[in-house]
Chain A
């Protein structure tokens, strides 16, 4: 897995007239031993890319759902090395989609950016999202990830001024993560109406795929986003669903299947 693998997923999805479904799971919630079954379920349900949270004690960009998932994971003893080992030994025939890591800068920095990039690449991660690392602070990190063939995806938010967007898009690899609303991650009842306008504002400024996340919860949201964006990112809604389910893999598979169906533009009436 490498940088181009993420880009090729978006190409294939575009050819199939659908938005890519990016499903977020928290590594180690409820335990690392449970993860292979959950990752397989996400892929089997139709996730095109899996975003795997590596837990951090102080996740500033996350709302209560993912904060709680990170806390459960850390209490279960999850470490960065443990996550790498779990992904490194995963049967990728059963999880044949790119996996990208979602973590914070402190664990990456303390571990060492070069060592982190090498470890992620060796384990088979295709990319990384570090939400508290804006491009201005990412120089050495971006170089380390690029030389190890791990995509580093940056974010654009509703507050991002247009003059900043070309720089962010230029440095973002794989795709550009479009934050749908002000605030932090978390399942929302309604989609922020301004996100379509934000995607419209981005289109003339970059050719890269645009995937929308934060507050995306339901198939209805996915359907709306698929009409104008290249990818749909769902996190907290999946965590909410699986944390209360008896059969967690089945819950992940079912929600992913419903979201994947909604992300196809063929069924838009």
Chain B
């Protein structure tokens, strides 16, 4: 498998719906990607940085305490929280940073939701000596302030986005607008498997390190692939990354976990683009979108800024349509419970995004026999969420 067709489509999803000014920059990027991906020198530098700088491979850890409580299958965590900068995002930004340098670009821009992609981009900018500007919604700046400080410490400029819903969608709009004005000298490092072709394909390629490693590690540890693979899905890059290792293995069930927020009863309360969305075009791709009947993009809600996005990568929409992967949702409250539980039972504080995957894995494991294996992508660590979690807990205690 398994890439898009030559026009960037996965089945009916994908494509390149962008203003004319960006058509040629995307074609240049596609040509550069084709050249880089065929170049052993590019990959050897990428792999060297992953080993020496990012700390690959990431560990595979069996969460026996968590599994014991679920009274079912074995639960295994792919520890992307152990990466430099604390999340899987740096796999992608190292790759795109090397592409930017290869293309002779002098400036890097990015959008960020939770700030993890922003920090990972700022980090690579510092490493490669390129100036970085990161667009971040005003609401996210407030709820992920630690990452704002980190980005600034790393020398990046954080551009606060006040338009629209003041979250990831609007930060992405502003990054696209910046790129439309500056494409000749600027490389736009997209943070997920979203956007116009070739972005979903190239981001997946860099993220697929997760799945390739996990596949080998499972073979070595268990002598076989897992029965189930679980990952949270906002735009969906960590999920595509781990799915990539198992997608050709038809016995392995793939599960994407979307943010159920306060529940799916109505638009605005959740961010479940696959569970409750309809086909539309957002940020350059045809995909599943949360929108009203007039095609206006809906506001979204999730406790986790990184999942708070009204669209999803086109390949996920395709996997949902074909049934190769199944998509479920976990609410804010369920994610909070698993966030705390993983900390208490395993000594691992997950990102709130990843806590959605953990919560579903616990539920799934409880329905499975003891010899089944559930692999969870623990996409990032939760330092960024700890303060807000504590404050919310204190507030709850005060009103109880």
Residues in chain A within 8 A of chain B (CB atoms): 56-58, 60-61, 63-64, 67, 71, 74, 79-80, 105-111, 131-134, 136-137, 154-161, 164, 168, 179, 182-184
Contact = CB atoms under 8 A, between A and B. Distances in A.
A184 B180 contact: yes
A214 to B, nearest CB: 9
Contacts, number: 117
B21 A179 contact: yes
A155 B17 contact: no
9 contacts: A80-B294, A108-B295, A111-B294, A132-B19, A134-B17, A159-B22, A159-B23, A159-B183, A183-B180
Contacts of B316: none
B181 A57 contact: no
Contact of A110 (B15, B170, B280): B280
B296 A160 contact: no
Contact of B281 (A74, A80, A105, A168): A105
A56 B23 CA distance: 21
Interface string B210-253: 00000000000000000000000000000000000000000000
A132 B18 contact: yes
A71 B299 CA distance: 13
B297 interface: yes
Contacts of A79: 294
Given A58-B169, A60-B18, 15 more contacts: A57-B164, A58-B297, A108-B295, A110-B294, A133-B17, A134-B17, A134-B20, A137-B17, A157-B19, A157-B24, A159-B20, A159-B183, A182-B180, A182-B184, A184-B177
Contacts of A134: 16-18, 20, 23
A164 B23 CA distance: 10
A64 B19 CA distance: 17
A60 B164 CA distance: 12
Nearest to B278: A110
Given A159-B183, A184-B177, A184-B181, A110 B291 contact: yes
Contacts of B283: 60
B280 A106 contact: yes
Given A182-B182, A182-B183, A184-B177, A106 B20 contact: no
Contact of A131 (B19, B163, B182, B280): B19
Contacts of B17: 105, 132-134, 137
A134 B16 CA distance: 8
Interface in B17-45: 17-25
Interface of B: 7, 15-25, 163-164, 169-170, 173, 176-177, 180-184, 278-284, 286, 289, 291, 293-297
Nearest to A109: B281
Contacts of A111: 294-295
Contacts of A64: 163
Given A57-B297, A110-B278, A137 B180 contact: no
Contacts of B182: 182-183
B16 A183 contact: no
A216 to B, nearest CB: 16
Contacts of B16: 134, 136-137
Contacts of A110: 278-280, 291, 293-295
Nearest to B286: A109
A60 B176 contact: yes
Interface of B is mostly: mixed
B164 A61 contact: no
Nearest to B27: A161
Nearest to A68: B163
A175 to B, nearest CB: 15
Contacts of A161: 24
A154 B20 CA distance: 9
B183 A58 contact: no
A183 B25 CA distance: 13
A109 B7 contact: no
B24 to A, nearest CB: 4
B193 to A, nearest CB: 19
B24 A159 contact: yes
Contact of B296 (A60, A107, A133, A183): A107
Contacts of B173: 58, 60
Given A61-B19, A131-B19, A106 B282 contact: yes
Given A58-B173, A58-B282, A134-B20, A159 B297 contact: no
Contacts of B15: 137
A67 B293 CA distance: 20
Given A60-B19, A137-B16, A106 B295 contact: yes
Contacts of B295: 56, 80, 106-111
Contacts of B22: 159
A60 B20 contact: no
Contacts of B291: 106, 110
Contacts of A109: 279-281, 286, 295
Contacts of A164: 23-24
B111 to A, nearest CB: 13
B28 to A, nearest CB: 9
Contacts of A60: 18-19, 173, 176-177, 180, 283
A200 B143 CA distance: 51
Nearest to A183: B181
Contacts of B176: 60
Of listed A131, A133, A134, A156, residue having the most chain B CB within 10 A:
A134
A155 B24 contact: no
B296 A157 contact: no
Contacts of A154: 20
A183 B183 CA distance: 9
Contacts of B24: 157, 159-161, 164
Given A58-B282, A60-B176, A106-B280, A182 B293 contact: no
Among all A-B residue pairs, the 8 with the closest Cβ atoms: A183-B181, A110-B295, A107-B295, A157-B21, A159-B24, A57-B296, A157-B20, A155-B20
